Amino acid sequence: MRIGITYDLRQDYLDLGYGEEETAEFDQTGTIEAIEHALQSFGFATDRIGNIWNLTNRLADGDRWDLVFNIAEGLRGIGREAQVPALLDAYDIPYTFSDPLVLALTLHKGMTKRVLRDLGIPTPDFVEVQSMRDVNQVNLPYPLFAKPIAEGTGKGVTPASKIHNLDELRRECDYLLATYKQPVLVETFLPGREFTVGIVGTGMEARSVGVIEVILNSSAEQHAYSYINKEQCEELVQYVPVDDEQSRQAVDISLATWCGLGCRDAGRVDVRVDANGLPNVMEVNPLAGIHPEHSDLPIICTIYGITYRELFEMILQSAMQRVTASTLIDYTVKPQEAVLESCRPLF
């Protein structure tokens, strides 16, 4: 069975002149090597495809795969994470993780929150600032929190993201609008504990692999799991396994979010506690980072005694349910079959 790997390599974009923060969500070579090694450990033949431009050329040349392991974030547009899955759907090629609808929805934090409200899942009140004219329409109690509406990896999040008055709100919105060329999400600041919930599986088979509390060290940027804090997490952040009432509530609303939005295979939900002690969903990450040591989902697994290979086992078990006999390619010389039986449930 042949598995292609789609991804955006950070160095490729740095070589094209893009900056460090612009490429923050893209992957290092070490991540791709770790993915390839994990897949090959099950007996799969792997093929590094790369970004959507490479994928487009390969498809045009007639290349096909039994499954694509997709972690491509995309470069441009609100729907950038959905581009590779949409192209694979057009060619009827199965792939890991969520579909184009989920990836486009969850990248847009405002739209995600609208759906969460409809599902009855707690999330902070918010306003979308499309231009500086909208700042005067923000009618939420201070403190507030402002961030780009469609970024990840903490991009655009700094200590200045916590807003105490109208002047700060105007200044931060002006900066974010000019810098990121997209609307700004302004929401009620959540003053309590912050959790990240790791999830594997799809639909009714989804389950948590662990929940950690994100605790900022005294030397970290305060008030938020910011871009700097994430980039330097080894020095600035503590990840603590927790099992108490609030963390269990965080797991419950995270699973409700995962299933309600239709997320698949594996990812994370970020939760923070409001002034009344109630966990609220901040963001959904259905295309979570998967570096074995630096990304939150593998970090959660490691803390809870789940190896990197076992995480892949669970991802593949979920994704393989979408691989049917009709989609398998009949190779003249078949690689060693990576038997689905080896992808056994761990929990």
Give CA 329 to chain center in angstroms.
30
Range 323-344 average pLDDT: 50
CB atoms within 10 A of CB 174: 14
- The model scores a pTM over 0.75: yes
Q: Report residue 49: phi and psi, to 5°.
A: -95, -50
Confidence of residue 201 (pLDDT cuts 50, 70, 90): very high
- Torsion, CA 92, CA 95, CA 100, CA 106, rounded to 10: 170
CB 33 within 8 A of CB 52: no
At 267, list the tokens.
Answer: 């990812």
Q: Provide the sign of the torsion angle of the four alpha carbons 308, 314, 315, 320, taken in this order.
A: positive
pLDDT of amino acid 233: 80
Which residue ranges form the domains of the chain, and what is each CATH number? 2-97+320-342 (3.40.50.20), 125-188 (3.30.1490.20), 192-303 (3.30.470.20)
Confidence of residue 346 (pLDDT cuts 50, 70, 90): very low
pLDDT of amino acid 175: 96
